[in-house]
Chain A
Amino acid sequence: MTLAMTLLRRLEGPQTLGRGPAFWTAFALVVAAAIAYPWFADGYTVGNTAYFFCWVFMALGLCLIWGYGGALSFGQTAFFGLSGYAYGVLTLNVGAAYGFTLAALVLAVALSAVMAALLGYFLFFGRIGGVFLGIITLSVTLALERFMAQTAGPDWKIGAARLNGYNGMSGMPPLTVPWFDGDVVLFPDVALYYGLLALLIVVYLALRILVNARFGNVLVAIRENPERAEMLGYDVRRYQLAAFVIGSALAGLSGTLYTAWGQYITPSSMGLTAAALPVIWVAVGGRGDLTATLIGTLLVLGGFQALTIYGSQYALVVMGLLLVVVVLAAPDGLVVAGLRGLGRLRRREASR
């Protein structure tokens, strides 16, 4: 019981919205609903929800880098694509036996983390901040897109895996978990849904602990005033680099899961439009808080897909304008603004 209490205490703090029994009861209810959900929906819808889950990791990573660290990275899709392609190359060469897809997942995410550390070293230790950081990271993802788009020729292959240029790679195996009586293949329906749901809860809670620990407090101090944090003796560059690496690894995780989900990956997943989408999710939800980002991302993804069904060409126009309106009218994000409004309403009720 005391252990549970300590754990719970570390999950809440000044850097996250939502605390106390009310919040965690609601959290438990949402998790229970999410677990029960596949019994009431058909396989396609469940697979589609799993598709939404794939993207949330990238959004949470961007929330950590941008919302908590104050460093705007526009190039998270670079790591998304990098890990996606890495998963494809690895699994197309080795196959899915003996749970190798899980090893490929880990390797692909690790690759993103290493690349992020390399790029981040030049950026943060060169003290590139503010707008330049966004521009350089965006340029990196655009350059990667251009590079992958021209790999159509048969000479562009790594082992047995053809890169296929603009058409992208396909045919890689889905995630496969070795089990006692044979492999469990996580096809994009109920099985993958539960896997992703568990992973999402773990990542969300781990990030909550991280941002409420010393690391998160220093990160927020740097966001608020880098000079002050530096004067207090913190190495600003290391903290920002660490946040960048963690966030980019999460983007890589998204890319790997996406590739395993749809069994394909294309260069346009690193293009300008793709790069804008995570920024929209995080900005609309509320970049300053993990929970707001999580809710916002799922809402915007759902809204985007609904728009695509009813008028695909207008979806991006709406997304673009939504971003402009949110930045102008609710800079902290719609979900955060909504939660604050609810809190104010409750306080007014209580004082009455």
Chain B
Amino acid sequence: MDLLTHAFTFLYQIGDAFSFLVLSACGLAVVFGMMGVINLAHGELIMCGAYVTAASTRAGLPLPLGILAGALAAGAVGMVMERLVIRHLYGRPLDTIVATWGISLAATQGTLILLGSSMPGIGTPLGSFTVGGYSYSTYRVVLMVAAVAVLAGLYLAFNATRFGTLARATIQVPHMAEALGVDTRTVYALTFGLGAALAGLAGGLYAPTMTIVPTMGTTFIMEAFVTVVVGGADIFLGTAPAALVLGTVRALLTTWQGQLFGQIGLLVAVILVIRVLPRGISGLILRERA
């Protein structure tokens, strides 16, 4: 294997880890950054997206539409969750975590009871391409593009739309926004719905590459959590660079010692980082800018 192929393999792995971290974390990061709420049922929303995508694709819908359906379904579930539970717990962040954990348990087990221990998967589309004698999955490249597109889309949504302006106003000074006529409850509900839809999107995008089981949410949450912790409260200044750094760490460790050490190394890296940067990367950037 010559140097160029080696470099490409490594870049491909970083990109793969980066897209996984961004996609699994962005929904969580939106909700945490905007509302200070950590949603432990995040993994179950991802699972919901994956189930709906797999089911609708098997029913004959083209995959992109199936993924969209997954995202919309998870978004709708998220809005219902916000209305029934989260709304009553604003200002009690620890209680919100505990309550969403309850939802997560009930949802995992409920899915197991209703839909059985696994669902027939949908194969990974688009085949593969070859570089220097090694073959790579084309769909993984699509996922990388999707991760970048999601970040760009979120940037536009929060900076160039009326919803984004209202959302940012609500987050900064809630009572002032309310005094100016913003329906803050709706803004919170929509923000939570957006976070849930992003979780569903992640589930839909990864549905073709994984086995669809009720516990698949756990595959995502640890990575999503650590990315948000390292990133801090800002999606663009936090989650994206955190995903890049952690993606590189994970790719390095995975090439060196294998998949498991990639995950454990990720966690150790996070514990070391938060000792130095308690408010995450975005905290560091914002402090230096201020």
Contacts and interface: CB of A to CB of B under 8 A. Distances in A.
Q: Do A and B bind each other?
A: yes
Q: Which residue among A119, A314, A324 has the maximum number of chain B CB atoms within 10 Å of its CB?
A: A324
Contacts of A128: 274, 278
Contacts of A317: 105-106, 109-110, 113
B113 A314 contact: yes
Q: Is the interface of A mostly helix, strand, loop or mixed?
A: helix
User: What is the size category of the interface that chain B forms with chain A?
Assistant: 35 or more
Contacts of A134: 38, 94, 97
A303 to B, nearest CB: 15
Given A72-B97, A147-B264, A324-B99, A139 B270 contact: yes
B211 interface: no
B106 A321 contact: yes
Contacts of B152: none
Given A323-B98, A324-B85, A142 B105 contact: no
A142 B109 CA distance: 18
Q: Is the interface of B mostly helix, strand, loop or mixed?
A: helix
A328 B85 contact: yes
A42 B15 CA distance: 61
B56 interface: no
Interface stretch (B60-68, B164-172, B179-187, B218-226): B218-226
B271 A323 contact: no
B99 A313 contact: no
Nearest to B43: A272
Interface string B80-109: 000001001100111101110111111111
Nearest to B109: A316
A122 B276 CA distance: 9
A127 interface: yes
User: What is the size category of the interface that chain A forms with chain B?
Assistant: 35 or more
A122 B112 contact: no
A319 B38 contact: no
Contact of B271 (A136, A271, A313): A136
Contacts, number: 128
A143 B99 contact: no
B278 A283 contact: no
B176 interface: no
Given A134-B94, A147-B264, A323-B105, A122 B272 contact: yes
Contacts of B99: 323-324, 327-328
Contacts of A273: 105, 108
Interface in A134-156: 134-136, 138-140, 142-143, 146-147, 150
A322 interface: yes
A65 to B, nearest CB: 12
B229 A135 contact: yes
B275 interface: yes
Contact of A135 (B104, B108, B109, B225): B225
A220 to B, nearest CB: 16
B267 interface: yes
Nearest to B225: A135
A328 B105 contact: no
Nearest to B32: A131
Interface string B204-241: 00000000000100100110011011000000000000
Nearest to A325: B102
13 contacts: A126-B276, A134-B97, A135-B225, A136-B270, A143-B267, A272-B218, A276-B104, A283-B98, A317-B106, A320-B103, A324-B85, A324-B99, A327-B99
Interface of B: 32, 36, 38, 85, 88-89, 92-95, 97-99, 101-110, 112-113, 215, 218, 221-222, 225-226, 228-229, 260, 263-264, 267, 270-272, 274-276, 278
Given A317-B113, A324-B102, 15 more contacts: A74-B97, A126-B278, A130-B94, A131-B36, A139-B267, A142-B218, A142-B222, A143-B263, A150-B260, A276-B101, A280-B102, A283-B98, A317-B106, A319-B102, A320-B107
